[in-house]
C-alpha cells in the first residue's frame, strides 16, 4: 500500500481559506506537512486553520494577503520568507474577473498579469533557495483547463495562465537538477464558489434558472458531475510525495474527462 509521508515538510498554500486551496491544505496536513494558509479573509482563514490535522505535531499558521494588491503582497510575503522556509509551494490565487475580449481594457490585462503571473513568480523566487539547498522541492501551479481550450468569457485567465505555463515549463527544466519538481494542474469544473459565481453569471446572461445553467455546464463533463475539492487534494498530495519524484514539467488535466484535446 502506498503511504504518503510529508512529515517535516513545510507547505505554503495560496487562496486556501476555502475551496480547492483549503482541500489541498487539508490533505497535505493529513500526510504530515506543516501548512501555512494564505488568503485575504482572516475570519475564513481561522476557520480553515481549525480543520487541519495536527496529529503529528505539525505547526500550522495563516498569512493574510491580498493577491490583488501586488505591492502589498510583495511586502507581506517577503517578510514571511525572512523567518520561514517552504518545501512545498502551491501557487494558487483567486481568478481574474470574467468577460470577453470586448469587456477588457489594457488595465484589466495588467491587473490579471499581476494577480496570476507576478505573484507566482515572486513567491517561487523566494522559495527556491531553500529548496535547492535541501535537494527537495515541490512547486504546483493551480491552473485551468482554459490554457488548452480557451473559453471566450474567461479571456484574462486564458491569456495570463498560458504565459504562466510557459514559464513553469522553463522553470522545471532549470531546477530539475536540484530534485525540485514543477507541475501544473489544469482544473476542470469543481464544486467551488468560483464555479457557482460563473454559473450564476451564465444563468443571468441566458435568463434561465441557476439549476438549468448548472445542467448545461455538467453536459460538458463526461462524468456528469462537478469535481469535489478533496479529489484535488488527493492529486496534490501524490505529486508532493516521493512517488512523484520523476514527474516534472507536466500539465495535468483534472477535469472528469472534459478536455477534448490530447
Cell numbers placing 62: 495563516
Of the given ranges (73-77, 201-205, 240-244), which has the lowest mean pLDDT? 201-205
* pLDDT value for 154: 87
- Over residues 24-41, mean pLDDT: 98
Share of the chain above pLDDT 90, in %: 81
Whether residue 112 is predicted with pLDDT greater than 80 in this model: the reply is yes
Whether residue 97 is predicted with pLDDT greater than 70 in this model: the reply is yes
Whether residue 117 is predicted with pLDDT greater than 90 in this model: the reply is yes
pLDDT tens for 167-205 read: 999 999 999 999 999 999 999 999 988 888 888 988 898
* pLDDT value for 4: 96
Of the given ranges (52-56, 148-152, 236-240), which has the lowest mean pLDDT? 148-152
* pLDDT value for 192: 87
Note the residue count of the chain: 262
* pLDDT value for 80: 98
- Asked if 17 contacts 44 with a C-beta cutoff of 8 angstroms, the reply is yes
pLDDT band at 95 (very low <50, low <70, confident <90, very high): confident
Domains of the chain: 10-188+228-253 (3.40.50.720), 191-226 (no CATH)
* pLDDT value for 151: 81
* pLDDT value for 150: 84
pLDDT tens for 40-74 read: 999 999 999 999 999 999 999 999 999 999 999 99
Cβ burial, residue 207 (10 Å; 0-12/13-18/19+):
exposed
Strand segments, DSSP code E, in 14-75 are 34-39, 61-64
Whether residue 146 is predicted with pLDDT greater than 80 in this model: the reply is yes
* pLDDT value for 1: 67
Q: Which residue has the higher pLDDT, 150 or 92?
A: 92
* pLDDT value for 260: 85
- Over residues 129-141, mean pLDDT: 98
Cell numbers placing 37: 494558509
* pLDDT value for 79: 98
Whether residue 35 is predicted with pLDDT greater than 70 in this model: the reply is yes
Of 261, 187, 257, nearest to 222 by C-alpha is: 257
Could you give the residue ranges of the DSSP H alpha helices within 66-145? 70-81, 106-113, 119-134
- Over residues 23-43, mean pLDDT: 98
Distance of CA 51 to the CA centre of its chain: 19
The average confidence (pLDDT) of the chain is 94
Amino acid at each position: 500500500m502506498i503511504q504518503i509521508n510529508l512529515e517535516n515538510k513545510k507547505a505554503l498554500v495560496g487562496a486556501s481559506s476555502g475551496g480547492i486551496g483549503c482541500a489541498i491544505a487539508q490533505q497535505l496536513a493529513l500526510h504530515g506537512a506543516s501548512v501555512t494558509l494564505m488568503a485575504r479573509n482572516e475570519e475564513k482563514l481561522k476557520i480553515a486553520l481549525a480543520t487541519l490535522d495536527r496529529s503529528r505535531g505539525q505547526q500550522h499558521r495563516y498569512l493574510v494577503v491580498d493577491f490583488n494588491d501586488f505591492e502589498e503582497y510583495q511586502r507581506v510575503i517577503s517578510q514571511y520568507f525572512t523567518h520561514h522556509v517552504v518545501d512545498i509551494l502551491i501557487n494558487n490565487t483567486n481568478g481574474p474577473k470574467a468577460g470577453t475580449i470586448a469587456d477588457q481594457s489594457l488595465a484589466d490585462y495588467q491587473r490579471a498579469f499581476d494577480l496570476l503571473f507576478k505573484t507566482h513568480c515572486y513567491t517561487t523566487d523566494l522559495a527556491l533557495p531553500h529548496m535547492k539547498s535541501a535537494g527537495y522541492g515541490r512547486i504546483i501551479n493551480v491552473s485551468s483547463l482554459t490554457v488548452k481550450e480557451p473559453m471566450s468569457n474567461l479571456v484574462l485567465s486564458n491569456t495570463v495562465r498560458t504565459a504562466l505555463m510557459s514559464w513553469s515549463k522553463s522553470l522545471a527544466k532549470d531546477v530539475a537538477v536540484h530534485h525540485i519538481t514543477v507541475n501544473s494542474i489544469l482544473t476542470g469544473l469543481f464544486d467551488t464558489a468560483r464555479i457557482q459565481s460563473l454559473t450564476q453569471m451564465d444563468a443571468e446572461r441566458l435568463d434561465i434558472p441557476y439549476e438549468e445553467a448548472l445542467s448545461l455546464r455538467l453536459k460538458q463533463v463526461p462524468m456528469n458531475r462537478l469535481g469535489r475539492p478533496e479529489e484535488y487534494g488527493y492529486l496534490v498530495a501524490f505529486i508532493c510525495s516521493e512517488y512523484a519524484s520523476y514527474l516534472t514539467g507536466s500539465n495535468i488535466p483534472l477535469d472528469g474527462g472534459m478536455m477534448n484535446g490530447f
